[in-house]
Amino acid sequence: MSETIHIETTINGRDRAFEVAANLTLLDVLRDQLGLTGSKECCVVGECGACTVIMDGIPMNSCLMLAVEIDGRDVITVEGLATDGHLNALQQAFLDLSAPQCGFCIPGQLMSAHALLQRNSDPTIDDVNEALGGNLCRCAGYLQITEAVMVAAKAGKE
């Protein structure tokens, strides 16, 4: 029998309490149990970053964590960036600069970029490249993605 554990957590600003199986990753639970399918499953070994979420302000690969590890923590997924149906500045910049091509990596790129801008509102291009180094884009749209983060940073300052 799979052990289930009761956890209490905050996801995208909403307090939630539910049971999780001990042997499921956070990514599995977000997608299959909570219906938050923005976080993507891709390499499943922590190389591609498509599953990136932010826990207590820190970006992490949700495929490398057990779901039970978010007990008592604050988690933001890509679904938590927009408010009341309005994209945030970062999402808007991605759209304006056509950063998404196929779009599959974009949730992870957004989460890494969001975490960067939360702790550094005035990043250099090198800062952006380093912060997004764990997010692969197989369409190779890196230039537009980096530009979008820089534009969003600038917009945030004005």
Residue 49 in contact with another protein, rule: CB under 8 A: yes
Using an 8 Å Cβ cutoff, are 19 and 4 in contact?
yes
Would you state the structure tokens that stand for residue 144, as one six-digit string?
């537009």
Residue 68 in contact with another protein, rule: CB under 8 A: yes
Would you state the structure tokens that stand for residue 2, as one six-digit string?
């799979």
Interatomic CA distance for residues 140 and 104, integer angstroms: 12
Using an 8 Å Cβ cutoff, are 118 and 149 in contact?
no
Q: Which stretch binds another protein (CB under 8 A): 8-16, 38-46, 95-103, 140-148?
A: 38-46
Q: Which stretch binds another protein (CB under 8 A): 33-41, 65-73, 82-90, 145-153?
A: 65-73
Minimal distance in Å, beta carbon 118 to another protein?
13
Per the listing, tokens 């600038």 go with 154
Radius of gyration over every alpha carbon of the chain, rounded to an integer in angstroms: 16
Residues from 119 through 158 that contact another protein (CB under 8 A): 130-131, 133-135
Residue 65 in contact with another protein, rule: CB under 8 A: yes
Q: Which is nearer to another protein, 65 or 93 (CB)?
A: 65
Tell me how far CA of residue 133 lies from CA of 17, 79, 94, in angstroms. 34, 22, 17
Minimal distance in Å, beta carbon 77 to another protein?
14
Using an 8 Å Cβ cutoff, are 12 and 77 in contact?
yes
Minimal distance in Å, beta carbon 74 to another protein?
15
Using CB under 8 A, list all residues that contact another protein.
1-3, 5, 21-25, 44-47, 49, 52, 58-61, 63-66, 68-69, 112, 130-131, 133-135
